Structure formats: C-alpha cells, structure tokens
C-alpha cells in the first residue's frame, strides 16, 4: 500500500493523526495496526 501525498491518516486505537508530506511505498502503522485514510469533512452549504 502506498502513502498518498496530502492525505491524513488516523489510528483507530489512540486517535493519532499523520499528514503525508512525501509520498512513498509502504504503509503507516500505529500500535501494530495499519492506519486508515481519513475522509474530508463536508463543507457547509452556502445559501
């Protein structure tokens, strides 16, 4: 699994977050488990 540039990853166990500033091969792990890509927050609607 490759790290995606500009994506934020989160640990489900401790809530730690990592922002990828340089893409590369491999994966991010925390507490021995792979970190998951966080989904972007929706923007508020403008009327």
| Distance (Å, whole) CA 10 – CA 47 | 32
Q: For the chain, list residues with pLDDT below 50.
A: none
**8-10 and 17-19 strand pairing:** antiparallel
pTM: 0.76
Q: What angle do CA 27, 5, 11 make, to 5 degrees?
A: 45
Task: Tell me what pLDDT residue 23 has.
Answer: 86
């Amino acid at each position: 699994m490759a790290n995606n540039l500009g994506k934020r990853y989160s640990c489900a166990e401790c809530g730690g977050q990592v922002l990828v500033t340089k893409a590369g091969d491999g994966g991010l792990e925390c507490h021995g488990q792979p970190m998951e890509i966080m989904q972007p927050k929706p923007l508020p609607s403008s009327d």
